[in-house]
């Protein structure tokens, strides 16, 4: 679900890097390696067509909330294309207003609706988009926390998030982690991980 967390500029840079290093097109790779709704979700994200205008249109948000409700809970089956059209193209400030309107109309969050309407990877994908739009630093803090809970450590998730966010908002993620879980991210990495590279991750946090 890595592409979900990129801005338009960084997605275009990622696509260019994939082509330069591997000689393949990111969109073509996604199409060949995935299928169904999940493929459509990832391909839509890779096109980097999200509106980045910070202004919020309250009337449009109300209409889009109604469209989401009609495409999911109010009909038999789910119109996945409507979810894609809204969740993948609207700016994050606009999405937050849409979520607010959806909850007012439905009486519960859009996340709850997604859990009812979808399953598997596509459910995870849509939930990731919604959680990033709501609070990106909290989303990453939660991913890091879950990567160190349970049996074993999800090394790839730890490395990917810390390295990818190191020059963007890693300090904010570290602070949010402390607020959410009452303990330091560096301390948890130190106590949970045994690999040699943990020292590098801890150094990046300081």
pLDDT confidence tier of residue 77, bands split at 50, 70 and 90 = confident
3-class DSSP state for residue 81? helix
Least confident of 3-12, 61-70, 155-164, 171-180: 3-12
Q: Which two tokens stand for residue 199?
A: 């020292």
pLDDT, one tens digit per residue, over 101-158 is: 999 999 999 999 999 999 998 899 999 999 999 999 999 999 999 988 876 778 888 8
Whole-model pTM: value is: 0.77
CA separation, residue 69 to residues 18, 86, 89, 104, 146 (Å): 37, 12, 17, 11, 31
| Chain mean pLDDT for the chain | 84
DSSP-derived secondary structure for 13-73: HHHHHHHHHHSS-HHHHHHHH--HHHHHHHHHHHT----------HHHHHHHHHHHHHHTT
What DSSP state is assigned to residue 201?
H
Given a cut of 80, is residue 168 above it in pLDDT? yes
Do residues 185 and 174 touch, judged by C-beta distance below 8 A?
Answer: yes
């Amino acid at each position: 679900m890595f592409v979900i967390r990129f801005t338009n500029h960084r997605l275009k840079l990622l696509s260019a890097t994939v082509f330069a290093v591997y000689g393949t097109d990111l969109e073509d790779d996604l199409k060949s390696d995935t299928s169904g709704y999940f493929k459509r979700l990832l391909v839509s994200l890779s096109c980097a067509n999200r509106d980045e205008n910070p202004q919020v249109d309250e009337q449009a948000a109300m209409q889009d909330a109604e469209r989401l409700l009609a495409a999911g809970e109010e009909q038999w089956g789910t119109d996945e294309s409507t979810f894609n059209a809204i969740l993948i193209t609207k700016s994050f400030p606009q999405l937050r207003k849409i979520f607010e309107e959806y909850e007012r109309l439905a009486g519960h969050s859009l996340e709850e609706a997604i859990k009812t309407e979808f399953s598997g990877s596509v459910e995870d994908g849509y939930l990731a988009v919604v959680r990033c739009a709501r609070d990106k630093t909290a989303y990453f803090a939660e991913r890091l926390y879950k990567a160190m809970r349970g049996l074993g450590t999800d090394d790839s998730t730890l490395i990917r998030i810390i390295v990818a966010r190191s020059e963007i908002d890693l300090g904010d993620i570290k602070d949010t982690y402390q607020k959410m879980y009452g303990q330091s991210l560096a301390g948890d990495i130190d106590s949970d991980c045994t690999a040699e590279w943990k020292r590098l991750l801890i150094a990046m946090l300081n």
